[in-house]
Structure 1
Amino acid sequence: MHYRQTRAEISSSAIKHNANWVRRIMEGGKLLGVVKADGYGHGVIPAVRALEPHVDGMAAGFMEEALAVRESGYKGPLVILEGCFSAAELTICYEQDLSPVVHCEQQLECIEQAQLRSPLWVWLKIDTGMHRLGWPQEQAQQALNRLQSSNNVSGVTLMSHLANADAEHSRNASQKQQFNKLSDTLSGYQALSFHNSAGLLNPDTQWPLQANDWLRAGLLLYGVNPSSVTEVQTELQPAMRLVAPVIALHKLEKGESVGYGSAWTADKPRVVATVAMGYADGYPRQAQNGTPAMVRGQRVGLAGRVSMDMLTIDVTEVEGVQIGDDVELWGQNVDVRRVADCADTISWHLLTGVSGRVPRVIV
């Protein structure tokens, strides 16, 4: 039972719509639905159940996340993006039919030394410029040879990761060229994975996806455009609507302030509404005055600092606001990217940062 009206409304139909849209623009290849970070904050169970009929596989960040996906009932291909670092984890990979990423020598040695009843499909990560995870390109063939000769490996997907696909950047073309060269010259792999959501959209990184190419889609599936290709957002349906009620109304005279630090002062007689949403719920404390929200179908702006449990908005121009009215903090009417801009952060951060005390309600 939830008494507080604050909630994150999750639309399964929006996730399905977005997955089908991604499949259309892929024009081939296989779709890997990324459900790490509790389904990008949407809840792993609703995300998995909405995506399952529309993807060819899924990906989690680490073992505990992968097991949560399996516990949701999903039995298809499942990749662990950070890979495994122990024999115990590899045993679970065998038992649960999981595919670990191999991005370093320690992980490769662990696979070579494991005692598994049947082999695993693994994803070999090569560093083409991200410099976060992955084998140096000059060691790629050696790593492939070792995997190919191991009785614990049934097949290999060769992968890399784009560092700047969300915008125009000279390194996009460089990474694409390096990965194309690798895939042409290396032997011992059976599939490829280079594109993330933004890489699919960026003209600098696009190429025709072949039957065994995997697209790793994350943010796009949840209805948010991760790229600078502006027209894409009109094709997507935001899957999360963050909503909280008005719990108080105050009339301020000119010169009066609201909130900690008196960071917002009325320039004339104003009405402010207190909303049951704060940084403990995942709303960004650094959001600036004027950050958009919506109440009674009208756009309003943040007024004053966000506190732990509450924030305040200027509703002077909105007629009839009452205690209990829903305020949309982001969703179908308030672009989460705009809120992120006002808080000097990114939409990934906001969606995954919605805390556990905000119920996810399937709509």
Structure 2
Amino acid sequence: MRPARALIDLQALRHNYRLARELAGGNTLAVIKADAYGHGAVRCAQALEPEADGFAVACIEEALQLREAGIQAPILLLEGFFEADELPLIERHRLWCVVHALWQVEAIERSPLRSPLRVWLKLDSGMHRVGLAPAEYPVAHQRLLSSGKVDEIVLMSHFARADEPDCASSLDQLAVFQAACAGLVGAVSLRNSPALLAWPDIPSDWTRAGIMLYGATPFEQVQPAAERLRPVMTLESKIISVRQLAAGEPVGYGARFLTPGPTRVGVVALGYADGYPRHAPNGTPLSVDGHPARLIGRVSMDMLMVDLSDLPQAGLGSRVELWGKQVLASEVATRAATIPYQLFCNLRRVPLLYRDGPTDAE
């Protein structure tokens, strides 16, 4: 079989959730939308369910996948519902639901629900993606309470720049949120991963841990709390070809790399069709049999090249880590001008192999 694979460390996942809950000091949702950021939503939920306060997904399809797998913990739909006819399913499967628009309020008012919903009412406090305007917010809150269709409302918003610890934008958004919520009763949910790690003074009865669950930092600079995270995914493959090239020889498509001197080149069975960033530049870090190495040449669909000139012991079958515990996904993302979120979510074609202790299970 092709040697490319992604190893998922469930013990590290639990460690990161416990860190999130420690920093939160209270209830914490594990965000496992987008197939747990490429890590496998069902297996991640099963690993976390004994201690998680609940989960968060993007949409009802993701929630139903978890329910069908036997997950009974609370599940929040972060985008709410897209059509009113989803409401009976939300009721039947006991899902919590974000409401971010007046049409959703109206749909709940009209729906013949038999059991009240748990609603997370979202305010647009300045990110301007989704959420009710500040003037609409208390009106929507009152309408939901008066409808008789809602038993509890969590007051929530989302920060646009919490991953910039020196930027005052999050405090500005907090001020907007507090003004809009004046006089309203309900638990508060404001802190996401970067806010959990870097903004301890922002109040939040419920926190939402996303990228930090998977052991990647959301910050461009070193951040003390983020240093305690453990990488969950290790993307690896093997060297399938080795050749010795003279100085001045091109490597890969477009001759983007020319050998500066005699160069030993290894070919790795992994490429952009597996999710590795095509635009990762020459010098992007990786490791070969545990030793630091560098990418050379343009990444192709199924293969990429590594400089083995300083690694005489490496050869056919040598293990290559593209990101993981030795090569942090954040380092690869920075070199490729992207973010670790995208690296994880773009993963495809490679099998996920789960580790939970001394034995491995697929």
Give the 5 Å matches for 1:304-343. Answer: 304-343=297-336
- Give 1:362's aligned amino acid: Y
Following superposition, the deviation at residue 107 of structure 1 comes to 1.2
1:176 matched to 2:168? The reply is no
SS of the equivalent of 1:138 reads coil
CA displacement, residues 159-182 of structure 1 (integer Å, 9 cap, x when unaligned): 000000001222111012222333
Match of 1:17 among 15, 19, 32: 15
Select the residue among 114, 118, 121 that pairs with 2:118.
Answer: 121
The answer for the alignment partner of 1:63 in structure 2 is 60
Structure 2 unaligned residues grouped into runs of 5+: 356-362
Aligned-residue RMSD, C-alpha: 1.3
Question: Counterpart amino acid of 1:219?
Answer: I
Residue 24 of structure 1: CA displacement?
1.7
Structure-1 residue corresponding to 2:360: none
Q: Secondary structure at the match of 2:191?
A: strand
Q: TM-score, normalised by structure 2?
A: 0.95
**Counterparts of residues 1-363 of structure 1 (less than 5 Å):** 3-26=1-24, 28-167=25-164, 168-183=166-181, 185-187=182-184, 189-203=185-199, 206-207=201-202, 209=204, 213-227=205-219, 228-355=221-348, 357-363=349-355
Local SS of the residue matching 2:310: coil
Q: Structure 1 segments of 4 or more deviating over 6 A?
A: none
Measured in 2, the distance between the counterparts of 1:49 and 1:301 equals 36
Query: CA 1:195 to 1:178, structure 2 compared with 1: closer, same or farther past 3 Å?
Result: same
Percent identity between the aligned chains?
Answer: 43
How far apart are the structure 2 equivalents of 1:232 and 1:24? 11
Amino acid at match of 2:298: R
Query: Is the contact between residue 240 and residue 317 of structure 2 (CA under 8 Å) also seen in structure 1?
Result: yes
Check the 8 A contact 1:288/1:342 in 2, yes or no: yes
The alignment partner of 1:83 has SS state of coil
Instruction: Provide the C-alpha distance between the structure 2 equivalents of 1:99 and 1:208, rounded to a whole number of angstroms.
Output: 21
Q: Which one is further off, 170-179 or 3-12? A: 170-179
Q: CA deviation at 1:148?
A: 0.3
Give the alignment's TM-score, normalised by structure 1: 0.94
Task: Read off the aligned partner of 2:299 and give its amino acid letter.
Answer: V
CA distance in 2, matches of 1:230, 1:192: 25
- Could you tell me which amino acid in structure 2 is paired with residue 121 of structure 1? R
1:296 and 1:321 in contact (8 A); partners too? yes
